[in-house]
Structure 1
């Protein structure tokens, strides 16, 4: 589609989305019983050859995520009716116009690569116009930022929704190379031989059972000198569980076990296109976890990149083994000022928090609180979960430094985080367990079924906030 257009007043042609506070809607011929303006309720009005969708905002405060969802609701409805030119009326909320644009662009995305031609939607969103009144300065900047961020999220969704016979570790590495060329990033991919020569025992072990060898992908955005922020992502392109094989139900969803790594690609894409003046490195550990005569086994002991040893009790706890190598490499190679990791790590996090929130683990209370607040604004909420000695003790091994599971179901998400923490050392660090919100099984106001791109909006908002703080100092 064309870039988003920012105007003072919405043009007269084209379909329009108008936001309405509950109890404030008044139109001749429409009663309060028909449309009161309750949250996300809609009314379609046809006038002078165009469609106007009124979307209710309810009675509470108008927040960034409320307007994002309302814009997604209205845009999705117009798209289903064939709307190709859509205007968002944000004159009453110019400071939130960027979030409305996010909702509209995210709701317009569809994954149709494998639909038959006659089953695909015939129209596309060609233009999106947002009216912000006379408050164009800061609103324009936020709209431009939100457009880049939403495009990065949709880029992640496009890769993430692809099945495992399309996205393998090798083809994911190809995507990273293409991204680097397009966004002026530095890129290095460690293939099987380099992984062997480099001593990446964890990544190699997880990928041994597959005919699709693993990769370690490194992307660098270096606009300035200094220590970078490093973001590490887990990208298991398909997770059968290996020898500790998963139940068949919902195993098809394990093509989504790559979403931490895919989010890293999206973050680097957005950072480059935003021109962020923050040195940033993305490290993606990618493998396919399959059972075969070559697969690693329960009872094996693995020597990781950093030399630390891991006793394997369950081959389905493979993500933390990938992270051990990727985090160990990142700490040694880049000496980060701050390290994040993103991983669909534990089903226990879904049990604890549901599917809407990610778990955040960090020993830095200021970073925890900042991510908590930014998550609400970004529409990617997180909830703090504990680290502590009891979780470290749970993974002590009689044969190696650590074992990859505790042997009980108790505190599973914290046990996984405690495992990763062994490779972090003294580096400031936050672990995001995105197992719940990485994909959705039902339509939401601005998300269709499938991958959400979770983590891109949150961490880009963090990086923008950091860049703003440092520009003032």
Structure 2
């Protein structure tokens, strides 16, 4: 009965209160609603033969008057021109457009027209002629840029939402039918996976906790082929010797879970890529209690687990020919009567022991069992763990990059390339052999916290300690990129779902990494 209210709240909010506009495709622009023109120069405007010459003249004069620079990210909204309620110019810059840039254009267009009470049309014929897949990427960007999480806001029945705010976002392209087919097959699954991930992260911790995280995931994967979901409860984890994750959950009334989501597409290799995610559904710090200021944001400490599950959802929904496993290491870190104390010693799944120095260094503890279990069970082609792990990485890299650590250069290079392609960029940081000495315990195999800097490196080293040195492994610290304080074209303020686009691209492009002991001092 104690979870009755939370379960009822969760059940009432299984779908977004307000979804982004549906994406459609057409061969020509309707003469109504809002019109969006992506332009790189005045010459681009002159080439818009679908616009009446008089309209082009008025728009050109307005652009000159505003000294519009056409730079990427710039925009100008005009009203009272032609039959449209709103005419928006979005600058594209003069550099070659890639997938990330196209998504930004779509996201900017969606954000600028979000309050238009009627349909929205983006004219992309000139882009589609020169860039393969342009319309699909614009559609993905529009879905992501139009995202909002407002399901708990009061909706006044006397003041209903205008129906026109949910009218389609239509992309005009040369072959609308082909673009639509490709978007439904490739773009829509990715956008839906990012939305699912953002919803999970945005939910309050009284709604999403280990058990309900599992339930949400099971619901999302219903009817998706090639997927198996396995959930380890407390007795199962005890039998497997997962003392590390169990130690984190002991202070909470909500028990931990280890969830394994496996997808194997047609023709995929036997050895999977394993994506392990930190899933602390709320982090109070445990006995090493955090200060109260900003603690509300610790509901997002499960962003890594949400991202790896979202990645598999994207790949599975479009039946990609890959073999991938997401492991969500889920726990709530609370200071209850049974909570783990600083100074305690626990044993992980692979038999290695850990001295607990700081119970607020808990993400690495749940991941220790996740990666050790993955290494033993799957003989994986690679393990990549994702976590909101340290404040140190935020101080080092801010919110522009996630931190990347790896013992294998080839794996790190592939991840960095995927980050550049998708715009979710990584910056590689070192794994120095001295870290092994700095986190050596006097009474156990390793301690979960080092003294002082480099905090991000110590956390990465700790997780890697539980992966065999020959196994290709990388750690991504997303502490600075998981939550946006300000709007960006495809990431409105709030949960970013950082890592879904990155890992989706990485898994699709993955090339086998030679096994062998790399750097890192193990």
How far is the alpha carbon of 1:140 from its aligned partner? 5.9
Among 132, 136, 148, the residue aligned to 1:110: 148
Unpaired runs of 5+ in structure 1?
Answer: 469-473
CA contact (8 A) 1:35 1:42 kept: no
Distance in structure 2 (CA, Å) of the matches to 1:143 and 1:131:
16
Cα deviation code 1:232-256 (max 9, x no counterpart): 1111000011111111111100000
In structure 2, relative to structure 1, the CA distance for the partners of 1:6 and 1:467 (3 Å cut) is farther
Among 59, 62, 85, the residue aligned to 2:97: 62
Distance in structure 2 (CA, Å) of the matches to 1:400 and 1:115:
49
Among 120, 126, 142, the residue aligned to 1:92: 126
- Structure-to-structure mapping, 1:439-458, within 5 angstroms: 439-458=483-502
Unpaired runs of 5+ in structure 2?
Answer: 1-19, 46-55, 513-522
Cα deviation code 1:328-359 (max 9, x no counterpart): 11111111111111111111111111112111
TM-score by length of 2: 0.84
- Structure-to-structure mapping, 1:303-452, within 5 angstroms: 303-408=347-452, 410-425=453-468, 426-452=470-496
- Structure-to-structure mapping, 1:159-198, within 5 angstroms: 159-184=200-225, 185-198=227-240
Distance in structure 1 (CA, Å) of the matches to 2:289 and 2:21:
46
CA RMSD of the aligned region, Å?
2.3
Distance in structure 1 (CA, Å) of the matches to 2:430 and 2:162:
49
Among 22, 33, 49, the residue aligned to 2:65: 33
Cα deviation code 1:391-442 (max 9, x no counterpart): 222111111111001122x111111111111111021111111111111112
- Structure-to-structure mapping, 1:151-166, within 5 angstroms: 151-166=192-207
CA contact (8 A) 1:108 1:125 kept: no
- Between structure 1 and structure 2, the one with the greater Rg is 2
CA contact (8 A) 2:21 2:146 kept: no
TM-score by length of 1: 0.92
Classify the secondary structure of the residue corresponding to 2:383.
strand
How far is the alpha carbon of 1:265 from its aligned partner? 1.6
How far is the alpha carbon of 1:387 from its aligned partner? 1.2
Across the two proteins, how many residue pairs are aligned to each other? 466
The corresponding residue for 1:471 is none
Q: Does 1:47 align with 2:82?
A: yes
- Structure-to-structure mapping, 1:198-277, within 5 angstroms: 198-223=240-265, 224=268, 226-277=270-321
Distance in structure 2 (CA, Å) of the matches to 1:153 and 1:121:
25
